[in-house]
């Protein structure tokens, strides 16, 4: 009887021992559920992150579009300012050109007026000399000659007032191609080489600028 009882106890112990293993399944289920929850949370976080990434990309695109639009507005404003500045500069240049042209015309007219003003007294003397020559006789020839000399001196004075000077070209002076124009050549032992032998027409200069060259004959 004891043996049967012992066998029964042993079987119960085995059954109890074997029964301990199923008790571990609930723990595994809890762990798997926890792992599934963690995976679900990670997936949720990943989806949230992906959503945030998409939103951030949209924000970047919107910001880029706004920046491009602001740059276009700034460029258009700068272009308008440059165009307005160009139109103002063009108008100022046109006014300056017209004003300069008018000033040149006025200067030319003023210069002519000053020259004519100096020559008018000489013209009056010439007219009086012509009127006197109509009624002159043999006794008045000398007076007419003296009057012509006075008119010549007066003309030289007028030229001097205007800054016009006679070019020096006396006989025996050295020929200068910058001041003289040689129209004839002659051999003359009494004169040095390249010397002026005769003056056919006087030359004049104004403040260093030759108005007319002296027409001369050159010796040797």
Residue 201: CATH number of its domain: 2.30.22.10
Give the chain's domain count. 2
For residue 16, what pLDDT band results from cuts at 50, 70 and 90?
very low
List Cβ neighbours of 118 (8 Å cut-off, separation of 6 or more): 158, 161, 162
Q: Are residues 87 and 148 in the same domain?
A: yes
pLDDT digits (tens, 9 = 90+) for 101-131: 999 989 989 989 989 999 999 999 888 888 8
Report d(CA 48, CA 116) in Å as an integer: 101
Residue 63 pLDDT > 90: no
- Residue 66 inside a domain? The answer is no
pLDDT digits (tens, 9 = 90+) for 81-108: 999 999 999 999 999 999 999 999 899 8
**Model pTM score:** 0.53
- Residue 181 inside a domain? The answer is yes
pLDDT digits (tens, 9 = 90+) for 135-147: 777 777 788 888 8
Residue 180 pLDDT > 90: yes
- Residue 150 inside a domain? The answer is yes
Residue 47 pLDDT > 70: no
Last residue of a domain, one of 147, 162, 177: 162
The region that residue 17 occupies, defined by phi over 0 for left and psi between -120 and 50 for alpha, beta otherwise, is alpha
Domain carrying residue 196: 165-220
């Amino acid at each position: 009887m004891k043996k049967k009882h012992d066998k029964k106890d042993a079987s119960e112990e085995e059954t109890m021992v074997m029964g301990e293993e199923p008790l571990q399944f609930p723990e595994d289920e809890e762990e798997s559920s926890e792992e599934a929850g963690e995976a679900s949370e990670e997936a949720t976080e990943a989806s949230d992150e992906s959503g945030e990434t998409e939103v951030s990309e949209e924000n970047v695109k919107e910001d880029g579009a706004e920046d491009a639009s602001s740059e276009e507005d700034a460029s258009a404003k700068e272009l308008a300012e440059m165009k307005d500045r160009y139109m103002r500069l063009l108008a100022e240049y046109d006014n300056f050109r017209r004003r300069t042209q008018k000033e040149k015309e006025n200067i030319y007219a003023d210069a002519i007026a000053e020259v004519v003003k100096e020559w008018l007294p000489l013209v009056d003397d010439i007219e009086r000399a012509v009127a006197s020559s109509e009624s002159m006789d043999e006794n008045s020839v000398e007076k007419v000659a003296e009057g012509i000399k006075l008119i010549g001196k007066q003309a030289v004075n007028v030229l001097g007032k205007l800054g016009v000077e006679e070019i020096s070209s006396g006989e025996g002076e050295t020929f200068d191609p910058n001041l003289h124009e040689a129209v004839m050549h002659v051999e003359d032992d009494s004169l040095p080489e390249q010397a002026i032998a005769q003056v056919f027409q006087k030359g004049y200069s104004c403040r260093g600028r030759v108005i007319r060259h002296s027409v001369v004959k050159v010796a040797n």
